[in-house]
Structure 1
Amino acid sequence: MLDKAVFKSSGKSPLKRVRRWLLSLMLVLLMGIGALVFYILSLQLLWPLSFWEPRSWLDPPLYNLSASDKSFFVEYPQPYHFILDEPNRCLHQSPFLVLMIPVEPHNREARDIIRNTWGKETTVLDQVVARYFLLGLSAGRNGSEPIEEGVLEESQKHHDILQSDFLDSYNNLTIKTMVMFEWLSTHCPNTSYAMKVDSDIFLHVHNLVDMLLKAPRQLYMTGYVARGATVLRDPTSKWFVPASVFPDPTYPTYALGLGYIFSLDLTWKIVEASPHVKALHIEDVYVGLCMRHIGIKVTDPPRGDLFQISAPSFTGSCQRTSVIAAVLKDSKQLLDLWRTFESRPQSGC
C-alpha cells in the first residue's frame, strides 16, 4: 500500500507523459500553421490575387526599373478628375448600351462626323443607346488654365463630352481607358454593356445591339480578339516593348483597341485589378493583362467577320449585314462610307 502511494505521488506514468508531450507538439504545430495562414492572408491584403502572378507585374510598379524602362508605363492609378462631366445623364437614361469614344480635344470634326453618322443612333431594336466622347487635356495645359471655350460650348450644346485632367496623348491612352472604366463603374448602374470604340471606326450599331441581345450579361468582353500576339522587339516599331519591361515573348489574349465590348460588371473588376498590374502604355494589351489578373477570358465574337481591320466596301448588301466594326483611314472616310452604307439595300442575304 505504501509503495503504490509513493508512486502515485512521485509522478505520472510513462504513458501519460507521452500523451502530454504529443499534445504539446500538436499545439506547437497548430500555432505554426496559424502563423503561416496569417502571413499568407497578410500578403493577400497587400497584393490580392496577384500574389500568384509573375513578380515583374506586382506592386510597387516602377521603383526597380531603369529610367528608359519607365517610359513604357503611365501614371496610373492616380486620382484623376473630370473637368467636364455628365454626372446624371447615364443614370437617368439607363441605356442598354453606352458607346465611349476616345478622341483628342482639338478634333471637333471627328466628333461632329460621328454625331451625324453611327453616333446619331439613340434607340436600336427598342434598346436605348448612349454616346460619350472622352477627352484629356490639350498639350501644354497643366489643368490650371480654363477649359477651351470651343470644347465648353460643345459640351453645353450636345451633353456628350467627358474631359479629365490628364494630358491627352497617344502614350496616355491607357490612362484614358482606365478613366473610362472608372466613370462607367460609378455613373451607369443600370447599363448592361459598353463599348470602347475609336473615332476612326465604322460602327454598325444595329448589328452590335442585335449581337448583345443574345450575349452573356456578366463577365463578358469581346471584339477583334488577339491570341498569342508577339511582343515587338524592334526599337523602330510604334509598339516596341523591350524584354526588360515585358519578358514574355507573347502577350496574353486581349481584344484589339479599335473597338471592344464589355458587360458593365467588368468595369470595377478591371479598376480593382489595376493597382496590381503595371500600367503598360499599350492600352488594349494592358486591359488584357488586367483581365488575366482577374482570371476572366475574352470571348470570341459569334462570327469572325463581325470585326474587321480594313474598311468595308459595301459593294453588296451582304456585307452590310455582317460587319459590326471596321477600321478606316480616318474619320473623314467615315462620312463618305456612311453615305454609301445608307444608300445600299438591307435585304438580300
Structure 2
Amino acid sequence: MIPVAPSNREARDIIRNTWGNKSTVLGQRISHYFLLGLSKVDNGTGALQEQILQESQINHDILQSDFLDTYKNLTIKTMIMFEWLTSHCPNTSYAMKVDSDIFLNVHNLVNMLLRAPQNLYMTGEVVRNAAVSRNPNSKWYLPAAAFPQSTYPPYVMGLGYVFSQDLPKRILEASAHVRALYIEDVYVGLCLRHLRISLTDLPHHGLFRLTVPHTPSDCYWTSVITTILQDSKQLLSVWDQYETQIRRGCLSRHL
C-alpha cells in the first residue's frame, strides 16, 4: 500500500518497473496499490484527474478517495487504507504501508513474514519515548491542547511498516475512541496503545534503514528490507545496483 501524490505519476511508474514488478515472491502472492486523494493543483480543469483515470485503466493498481491529498491529511489517507484492507482483502495475511521514495526488498520482506506472528503483529522501525515537538516552526508541532503528554507512546515510523491483516479492523474501531492527530504514524501508535497491542521489534537491527550508509557494503541492497532514498528517481539506479549484487552472488538476508 503506497501513499503517493496524485500528480506523481513518475514515482508510480518507477515502482511498477522496480520492486513492484513481481506478483509472486517465495511462493507468496504479492499485490501493490497506490493510495491517492484529490489534487489541489488540477486548477479546476480536470486534466490531471482524467490522466489518473487512464493510468488506472491501464495498470489497475490505483485506489483514489474523495479527500484533499495533503500532508495534514495523511492520517485520513491511512485510515482509508485500513478501511479498504478490511473490506477488500479478507484472505490476505499481511499488508505493508510504504512510502514512494523507499527502496523495498520484497524478497527479504516476504522471507521475514514467513517466520512472523500471524496475529496482532506490527513491525518496522520502532520509536520509543519520542519527545513531542512544541516548536511552532516544526513540521511535527503539536500544541499541548492537542496532545498534553510530553512523549509519544511507541510507534513505527511511517516510512514503512508491516502488519498482520487482523489489525486494520481493530485500528479502525479504536480510532472512534482516539482523538485524531495529523502525524499519521504516531496516531496509529495511539490506536494500538488504546487496544493494548504491543509493537514487535525487527528480527535484526538495520533491516529498515533511514539513510544509505556513507560506504555501503558490496551486498548492501540485498541485506536490507527498506532504505529511504533522496527521491523516487534514485530508485532506478539503486535497483540496478540491487540486481547487480544478486547476479554477483550476494544472498538476501536470512531472517
- If the length of structure 1 is used for normalisation, what is the TM-score? 0.68
Work out which of the two has the higher radius of gyration on C-alpha atoms and give 1 or 2: 1
**Runs of 4+ that moved beyond 4 A:** 140-143
Question: Are 2:105 and 1:204 equivalent residues in the alignment?
Answer: yes
Kindly tell me: are residues 314 and 154 of structure 1, through their superposed partners in 2, closer, same or farther at Cα, counting changes over 3 Å? farther
Question: Are 2:192 and 1:291 equivalent residues in the alignment?
Answer: yes
What SS class does the counterpart of residue 150 from structure 2 fall into? coil
Q: Distance in 2 between matches of 1:160 and 1:169?
A: 21
Q: Distance in 2 between matches of 1:116 and 1:146?
A: 25
Q: Which has the higher helix share?
A: 1
Letter aligned with residue 104 of structure 2? L
Letter aligned with residue 347 of structure 1? C
Letter aligned with residue 309 of structure 1? L
Letter aligned with residue 297 of structure 1? S
Matches within 5 A, 1:110-125: 110-125=11-26
Aligned to 1:128: 29
Question: Are 2:218 and 1:316 equivalent residues in the alignment?
Answer: yes
Aligned to 1:154: 55
Q: Distance in 2 between matches of 1:185 and 1:146?
A: 32
Aligned to 1:59: none
Aligned to 1:347: 250
Matches within 5 A, 1:93-242: 100-139=1-40, 148-242=49-143
Q: Distance in 1 between matches of 2:160 and 2:114?
A: 18
Matching residue within 120, 128, 145 for 1:244:
145
Deviations 1:178-231 (A, max 9, x none): 000000001000000000000000000000000000000000000000000110
Letter aligned with residue 256 of structure 1? M
Shift in Å, 1:311: 2.5
8 Å CA contact retained: 1:314, 1:340 = no
Shift in Å, 1:234: 1.2
Q: Distance in 2 between matches of 1:185 and 1:288?
A: 19
Letter aligned with residue 260 of structure 1? Y
Deviations 1:55-89 (A, max 9, x none): xxxxxxxxxxxxxxxxxxxxxxxxxxxxxxxxxxx
What SS class does the counterpart of residue 289 from structure 1 fall into? helix
- If the length of structure 2 is used for normalisation, what is the TM-score? 0.93
8 Å CA contact retained: 1:314, 1:341 = no
Matching residue within 207, 222, 244 for 1:306:
207
Name which structure has the greater RCO, CA cutoff 8 Å, separation 6+.
2
Kindly tell me: are residues 336 and 146 of structure 1, through their superposed partners in 2, closer, same or farther at Cα, counting changes over 3 Å? closer
8 Å CA contact retained: 2:42, 2:49 = no
What SS class does the counterpart of residue 33 from structure 2 fall into? strand
Aligned to 1:95: none
Say how many residue pairs are matched. Answer: 249
Shift in Å, 1:142: 11
Tell which deviates more after alignment, 283-292 or 321-330: 321-330
Question: Are 2:184 and 1:278 equivalent residues in the alignment?
Answer: no
What SS class does the counterpart of residue 180 from structure 2 fall into? coil
Kindly tell me: are residues 233 and 208 of structure 1, through their superposed partners in 2, closer, same or farther at Cα, counting changes over 3 Å? same
Q: Distance in 2 between matches of 1:346 and 1:236?
A: 48
Calculate percent identity across the aligned residue pairs.
Answer: 62
8 Å CA contact retained: 2:37, 2:66 = yes
8 Å CA contact retained: 2:120, 2:197 = yes
Cα-Cα RMSD = 1.9
Q: Distance in 2 between matches of 1:140 and 1:202?
A: 27
Question: Are 2:175 and 1:264 equivalent residues in the alignment?
Answer: no
Q: Distance in 2 between matches of 1:109 and 1:222?
A: 29
Deviations 1:293-319 (A, max 9, x none): 1110111010111111003565412x2
Q: Distance in 1 between matches of 2:49 and 2:83?
A: 24
8 Å CA contact retained: 2:208, 2:224 = yes
Unaligned runs of 5+ in 2: none
8 Å CA contact retained: 1:141, 1:167 = no
Shift in Å, 1:141: 6.9
Deviations 1:121-147 (A, max 9, x none): 21100100000000000116799x697
Deviations 1:15-36 (A, max 9, x none): xxxxxxxxxxxxxxxxxxxxxx
Aligned to 1:19: none
Q: Distance in 2 between matches of 1:187 and 1:335?
A: 31
8 Å CA contact retained: 2:124, 2:202 = yes
Question: Are 2:156 and 1:255 equivalent residues in the alignment?
Answer: yes
Unaligned runs of 5+ in 1: 1-99
Q: Distance in 2 between matches of 1:238 and 1:314?
A: 30
